[in-house]
Amino acid sequence: TKMSYGSLVIDQKTHQAYRDSKRLSLNPTTYTILELLCQQAPEIVTREQIANKLWQENEPNNDVLRSHIYQLRNQLDKPFSSPMLITVPKVGFRLEVASD
């Protein structure tokens, strides 16, 4: 099964994600976050939703989630000219179709 949003394609069978046909190197956690964002896109996914999906009740501190988002952003946005992963202050994150 494949999901896509803009130039992002996620292959749910192999747990691979691609942007502009370039494979992103994701670990299971960053993959899960990206899949959740893609399912909801372009709606906002709250920090709570991400934390619940990843850790159920044992939610770690904010720094853990922040570092996962940082890793995801390094893969999803850094090599490209425009970001897809948008931070919504005090709420969460959402994906935006890049305008490149």
Query: Which residues are CB-contacts of 72 (< 8 A; sequence separation ≥ 6)?
Result: 26, 30, 33, 34, 85
Region at 29 (left for phi over 0; alpha for psi -120 to 50; beta for the rest):
alpha
Mean pLDDT to the nearest integer, 76-82: 94
Residue 4: pLDDT band by 50, 70, 90 thresholds? very high
Q: Which amino acid is at 66?
A: R
Query: Quick one: pLDDT at residue 24?
Result: 98
What tokens does 86 get? Answer: 């948008």
Tens of pLDDT, residues 38-67: 999 999 999 999 999 998 877 667 789 999
Tell me which residue of 90, 76, 13 sits closest to 41, measured CA to CA.
76
Whether the pTM exceeds 0.85: the reply is: yes
Q: Which amino acid is at 89?
A: P
Query: Quick one: pLDDT at residue 99?
Result: 66
